[in-house]
Amino acid sequence: MKNTGWFSALHYRDFRLFWFGQLISLSGTWMQSVAQGWLVYSLTKSPFYLGLVAAMGSLPILLFTLVGGIVADRFRKRNLLLMTQALSIVPALFLGILTHMNIITVWQVACLAAFLGTVNAFDIPARQSFFVEIVGKGNITNAVALNSAAFNGARIIGPVIAGMTIAHLGLPACFYLNAFSFIAVIIALLKMKKDISSDIKESSKGFIKDLIEGIQYLKSSPDIYRTILLIAVFSLIGIPYITFLPVFAVEVLKAGPKGLGLLVGAAGIGALSAALSLAVRGDIKTKQRFMSLSALCFSFFLLAFSISKTFYLSIIILIFIGWGMVSFLATANSFIQLSVPDKLRGRVMSVYALVFLGTAPIGNSLIGSLADYVSTPKAVSISGIICILASVIFSVKRFKV
């Protein structure tokens, strides 16, 4: 059943609970992301280590998210999410304690990032495929857009609070607040109807056969396959720019920790505006054209950001970067979810998570090494050029179909 009107997915009580819980938790997650980047850069003064720690956080997704997709298709997603949210508290608490005691090292940060990444490898496929169980297929586009709005609303709130918290209360406070924020999602999940998660519809055919079944479906769907390839390019080459914002804040724009929070928040403003406009607009009939436009927007403004030397101009550019990235990803996400059969949704969304987040360790390490060699702005310039070329190829292929 499909509700009409703006923000139709919020008509469902369970989705409202989950959405508001996520908004709180994700704000804490973005606080930790900014604080962790500032911590690593403070310890090492090296863009390479920024890339390395980010890579350690994403490597488990590359290794385990396909397993996470199979688990999401075979077990109750609500129970899986309760477990992953509880486990996510652990690294945040340890980061806060070790930083507070002033005994933190970059390798401890990397190990804790790897632990959280392992949890996320199971959390993301379950979370992405959980929406359809709450709101149904008729409202999945709106649910995806609203989820993106929560993520990017938190992307504004979290970094700004993080910058102020680091400046006035210190780094440990950011990590403690993030640990506390996970309780909001746990409470939301516990308050949902007990039968919200559907029963397992069929028995597993075995890990390998389950995995092959999902991959074969993707191969037989060229539109989904091409979309996932462009997401992989963006994740590998384009999205790592955000890992190196501490370098831009300190060395290029001379803005300090408050400036770093504003830079990350600016991208969040653009991303939030994209998510809200999609939630209001509802389904997009010309998804192919819209994905092409938003991909090109992200790519061109990424190149522009790498060239900018002015703080406020960089803020404006980051708004357009955020708009283009989320417009593309949210539309691609809903397109994939509407196309895939229910029994394969967890596995297909695990592939989405694999290319979106799992390729990040390679990308962060690559761009980090390149930044050490040619400078961070030049490395991001190269990223922007590659993303432009990939977006043009994607657009040409789309219009030929």
Residue (of 263, 379, 277) closest to 324 by Cα position: 277
- Would residue 202 count as lying in a domain? no
- Would residue 180 count as lying in a domain? yes
Residue 74 has pLDDT above 50, yes or no: yes
Amino acid at 305: F
Residue 192 has pLDDT above 90, yes or no: no
247-259: average pLDDT: 83
Residue 93 has pLDDT above 80, yes or no: yes
Residue 147 has pLDDT above 90, yes or no: no
Domains contained in the chain, number: 1
Which residue would you say has higher pLDDT here, 325 or 345?
Answer: 325
Confidence band, pLDDT 50/70/90 cuts, at residue 109: very high
What is the C-alpha separation between 159 and 260, in angstroms, rounded? 8
Q: Give tens-digit pLDDT for 328-380.
A: 988 888 778 777 776 777 777 778 878 877 776 788 778 888 888 888 889 99
Over the chain, what is the mean pLDDT?
A: 83
What is the C-alpha separation between 18 and 186, in angstroms, rounded? 9
Q: What is the pLDDT at residue 401?
A: 46
- Judged by average pLDDT, the poorest of 146-155, 162-171, 228-237, 380-389 is 146-155
Confidence band, pLDDT 50/70/90 cuts, at residue 89: very high
- Judged by average pLDDT, the poorest of 56-60, 196-200, 310-314, 344-348 is 196-200
| DSSP notation for 86-149 | HHHHHHHHHHHHHHHTT---HHHHHHHHHHHHHHHHHHHHHHHHHHHHHH-GGGHHHHHHHHHH
Residue 69 has pLDDT above 50, yes or no: yes
Structure tokens at 274: 């994209």
- Would residue 304 count as lying in a domain? yes
Which residue would you say has higher pLDDT here, 195 or 362?
Answer: 362
Q: What is the pLDDT at residue 85?
A: 94
**Residues near 353 by Cβ (< 8 Å), separated by ≥ 6?**
61, 65, 68, 69, 121, 124, 125, 128
Q: Give tens-digit pLDDT for 5-15.
A: 567 778 888 88
Residue 390 has pLDDT above 50, yes or no: yes
- Would residue 367 count as lying in a domain? yes
Residue 203 has pLDDT above 60, yes or no: no
- Would residue 121 count as lying in a domain? yes
- Would residue 268 count as lying in a domain? yes
Q: What is the pLDDT at residue 199?
A: 46
CATH (domain of 332): 1.20.1250.20
> Which of the residue ranges 17-31, 40-54, 338-352 has the most confident prediction, judged by mean pLDDT?
17-31
Structure tokens at 9: 């997915």
What is the C-alpha separation between 342 and 95, in angstroms, rounded? 38
Residue 99 has pLDDT above 90, yes or no: yes
Torsions phi, psi for 196 (to 5 deg) = -65, -35
Could you tell me the sign of the dihedral formed by the alpha carbons of 383, 309, 296, 31, in that order? positive
Structure tokens at 317: 């550019």
- Would residue 1 count as lying in a domain? no
Q: What is the pLDDT at residue 194?
A: 52
What is the C-alpha separation between 39 and 32, in angstroms, rounded? 10
Q: What is the pLDDT at residue 91?
A: 94
**Residues near 261 by Cβ (< 8 Å), separated by ≥ 6?**
34, 159, 160, 161, 162, 163, 164, 166
Which residue would you say has higher pLDDT here, 277 or 319?
Answer: 319
- Would residue 201 count as lying in a domain? no
In the numeric block, the tokens 């488990």 are attached to 60
Q: What is the pLDDT at residue 183?
A: 94
The length of the chain is: 401
Q: What is the pLDDT at residue 253?
A: 86
Q: List the domain range (segments joined by +) for residue 313.
A: 8-192+207-400
Residue 204 has pLDDT above 70, yes or no: no
Neighbours of 237 (CB within 10 A): 24
Burial of 142 (0-12, 13-18, 19+ CB in 10 A): buried
